[in-house]
A and B are shown apart, each in its own frame.
Chain A
Amino acid sequence: MRRLLSSKRAASHMQQLGPLALNLALVLALYAIAMSLLGVWLRRRDFVASGEHAALAVWGCVVVAVASLLHLLVIHDFRVEYVAGYSSSTLPLYYTVAALWGGQKGSLLFWLLILTSITAIVELQNRDKNRDLMPWVTTALMTIAGFFLLLVNFITPPFELLAVPATEGRDLNPLLQNYWMTIHPPSLYMGFVGMSVPFAFAFAALASGRLGDVWIRTTRRWTLFAWFFLSLGNLFGALWAYEVLGWGGYWAWDPVENAAFMPWLTATAYLHSVMIQEKKNMLKVWNMVLVILTFALTIFGTFLTRSGVISSVHSFTQSGLGPFFLIFLAFALTISIGLLIWRLPMLRSENELDSLLSRESAFLFNNLLFVGIAFAVFWGTMFPVISEAIRGVKITVGPPFFNKVNAPLGLALLFLMGVGPVIAWRRASWAHLKKSFLWPVIIGGASGTTALILSGNYWAVVSFSLIAFVMATIVAEFYRGMRARQALLGESAPLALARLMGKNKRRYGGYVIHVAIVMIFTAITGTSLFRLEKQVTLNPGERFTIGDYTLLYNGLEQRDTPHVSYLMANIGVFLGDRQVDTLRPEKRFYKKPEQPTTEVAIRSSRGTDLYLVLGSYDEETHMATILAYLNPLISFLYWGGMTLALGLVIVIWPAPVAAREPAYAARAAEEGAQS
């Protein structure tokens, strides 16, 4: 009893501690901005350092606030509106923790936690580096943090108390009670928030006039880090939709999905075009534009998903946050584009494009395609708003629009993925082209012919030709590198391959990521062209076929627990006469809150998924409607995700210290000479 009392007293401290920490964080963020700017103006290093310390303190405050909200969630303090709204006393611990980002208010706080943590790391990494850039970096990051702090302090306070304390929470939406919930939102947030770092450094470069590529090298890892989580976040979201929503697909071009996809596109464009700047000192303005655009799209995506402007399924209720995001977006864009225009004369390209048949040119078109796709997705997503503004009618565009536009553009990108990394810089000779691409073209052609014979589908022919072509160029790159080491250094094949990747992590890790993207293309091709779909209504004992499978419906089974009751259709899976599996697609009925959910049943075999959904049923006759899907090659989506992670680990694996130091010294000297 005493323990309970003391824990309640502690809780009431927590209710006050959280808001207090957030107040303090806002003040400190404003202080950090003021001191950084003053430090630049008055050339006072101590002011700049004080601003940096304040940024660290902001992080401390946000950690305290997050910890106290977590504490309130874990002790089930239902006097707090957020706790009562998104958790309950019977919710398992890991979902109780995940409830931190399960609702609007908590998710903004969680966003702040990531942003300020990243800021703290950036400040610590650069204690003795980039002194001219850092006050501006601090200013940019603290302005973003300040915006979110304004929201959690005044607009969506997460520690708000209920007028009448609840005795029990309303629980987390059962649809969110899924293991993806614990990893999908955090990855996406890391991706979104991580893009603030390259933006802050780009802003700093523009503001300070230190436009050499120091800012790019400093943020390279951060950009990769953010890109990695953005990629995974998108993939996790797709897999979540696939495993939970029960319509057999994984991507529906919903505004929420598009919101996360657009910054990924521009960030990917940037990762490529930045290589041109590093190697050839070209595209400097373009890179600035891409970084600013990517950051703007992360804010825009947040606006899109939280404002209800778009007539998607999410737009029935409005949270009133929209205008704030729009104002902040306009503010950030005005300042950064203004700075960019001011600095245009300093951003002249030092080289010119020579030939259409060159690596520069391949990269240029790659960028145009990425940005083109981003624009098409933006246009389709915003079309209801645009058409209402112009014609006074809301017109929505569905998935066919996005598929029609993006399929050809995506395939063109796939083609460039085979060409770009191999083709010569400046100007490719015919001899070089023949040497590099003869075999890949033959292999691609053979694969396309096979696809034509097997399927007769022209999209499949194009897609599988390109997939084989790209894979062949990548394998050839590894093979050539390996043979060169073997010939030169007499290493064994595996050692040569390992050393080759170790010495050129960026290049070969990049190839591994390309392999991952090819895998994802394979999955998309398989599922969008060759997917089978069947809806049948059966009495127990009846059977039907889909693809090679014969499915026998044996009847309904029931199971009951205090929280959930389960209703399952027992379905025997046969290949010929042999039973290979039993699948049980089910309906779950959560008792609190009363809510049915569909649980799909999946059998993965040889890259293909048999995907069953229990649609509806008749309780008396046990007649049931079953939806069956056959998704060929979908396993490549999972493998692609894993390969992507592997590739990224190779790329960002730190170089040995001995190798790193001289490079850094050389870079610093070079930078000194520049400025």
Chain B
Amino acid sequence: MKRSTKFVIGAALLVASIGYLMVAGLQTSSTYYFTIAEFLPRQQELVGQGVRVAGRVTAGSLRKQTSAKGTEMQFTIGDFAGDNHVPVAGTVPVAFSGVVPDMFDEGRDVIIEGKLVDGTLRAQTIMTSCPSKYEPKPGEKVAPAAEQQARR
């Protein structure tokens, strides 16, 4: 066998295994991402699937209850304004039990990661954005600290 052929085979094997790992990785951990406007019309087809939904916590919707099991929370998320914004009506109820990020509050923009069960989004993770007061800094180099995640 020619010397260079051995290297081509070796490199090809390596590239193939990287490719395999990526495909396998994608199958196990990909999630649909929607804004609330995209999510509302498609709710039916998404029942039971893992989704990420971006929206704003509706003012006055937050209910909390602390028991020995932890803090249970219910709220709804609705439309949030962005660039080229077309307003939409409607909200999605969210249930979460656990610890929310510091920035979480009514009126804040959040990304909910979870599953839609019985019309309610059961949140696994809540991510918050910087409050608008601190915009515009979507991901400055300093942003890792401005990012908050809560995991259940």
A564 interfacial contact with B, CB 8 Å: no
Instruction: Pick the contact of B140: A103, A368, A593 (CB < 8 A).
Output: A103
Name which of A61-69, A251-259, A653-661 contacts chain B.
A251-259
Q: Encode B62-100 as 1/0 by CB contact (under 8 A) with A.
A: 001011111100000000101100000000000000111
Name which of A70-78, A132-140, A238-246, A465-473 contacts chain B.
A238-246
Contact across chains for B136 and A319 when beta carbons are under 8 A apart: yes
Contact across chains for B144 and A369 when beta carbons are under 8 A apart: no
**Which residues from chain B contact A538 at a C-beta distance below 8 Å?**
68
Closest CB of chain B to A149's CB: distance in Å? 19
**Which residues from chain B contact A319 at a C-beta distance below 8 Å?**
136-138
A256 to B132, CA, bound (A): 19
Given A170-B133, A255-B139, A317-B138, A247–B150 Cβ distance below 8 Å? yes
Given A316-B82, A404-B21, A356–B147 Cβ distance below 8 Å? no
**Which residues from chain A contact B54 at a C-beta distance below 8 Å?**
311, 316
Q: Encode A574-605 as 1/0 by CB contact (under 8 A) with B.
A: 00000000000000000001011110000000
Contact across chains for B21 and A104 when beta carbons are under 8 A apart: no
Instruction: Pick the contact of B7: A241, A314, A353, A393 (CB < 8 A).
Output: A353
Closest CB of chain B to A566's CB: distance in Å? 14
Contact across chains for A615 and B71 when beta carbons are under 8 A apart: yes
Given A175-B146, A405-B22, A535-B98, A107–B10 Cβ distance below 8 Å? no
A-B contact count (CB 8 A): 230
Contact across chains for B98 and A615 when beta carbons are under 8 A apart: yes
B41 interfacial contact with A, CB 8 Å: no
Contact across chains for A317 and B147 when beta carbons are under 8 A apart: no
A354 to B4, CA, bound (A): 8
In the complex, what residue of chain B is closest to A156 when comparing beta carbons? B136
**Which residues from chain A contact B52 at a C-beta distance below 8 Å?**
311, 396
Closest CB of chain A to B27's CB: distance in Å? 9
A458 interfacial contact with B, CB 8 Å: no
Residues 114-150 of B contacting A (Cβ, < 8 Å): 127-150
Residues 15-31 of B contacting A (Cβ, < 8 Å): 15, 17-18, 21-22, 24-26, 28-31
Contact across chains for B144 and A241 when beta carbons are under 8 A apart: yes
Chain A: number of interface residues, binned into ranges: 35 or more
Contact across chains for A596 and B18 when beta carbons are under 8 A apart: no
A287 to B98, CA, bound (A): 49
**Which residues from chain B contact A101 at a C-beta distance below 8 Å?**
141-142
A361 interfacial contact with B, CB 8 Å: yes
A383 interfacial contact with B, CB 8 Å: yes
**Which residues from chain B contact A598 at a C-beta distance below 8 Å?**
102
Given A252-B149, A401-B25, A305–B70 Cβ distance below 8 Å? no
**Which residues from chain B contact A308 at a C-beta distance below 8 Å?**
138-139
Given A254-B147, A372-B18, A398–B138 Cβ distance below 8 Å? no
Closest CB of chain B to A132's CB: distance in Å? 34
Closest CB of chain B to A194's CB: distance in Å? 14
A33 to B6, CA, bound (A): 47
In the complex, what residue of chain B is closest to A617 when comparing beta carbons? B66
Q: Closest 9 CB pairs between A and B?
A: A615-B99, A314-B139, A400-B29, A305-B139, A314-B138, A394-B33, A401-B25, A317-B135, A404-B25
A residues sitting closer than 8 Å to B (CB atoms) are 101-104, 107, 170, 173, 175-176, 178, 180-181, 184-185, 188-189, 237, 240-241, 244-245, 247, 252, 254-257, 260, 304-308, 311-319, 352-356, 361, 364-365, 368-369, 372, 375-376, 379-380, 383-384, 393-402, 404-405, 408-409, 535, 537-539, 593, 595-598, 613, 615-618, 621, 623, 625, 627
19 pairs across A/B with beta carbons < 8 Å? A176-B146, A184-B142, A240-B144, A316-B109, A317-B138, A319-B138, A368-B11, A380-B22, A383-B30, A395-B31, A396-B52, A397-B30, A399-B29, A400-B29, A401-B25, A537-B66, A537-B70, A623-B68, A625-B99
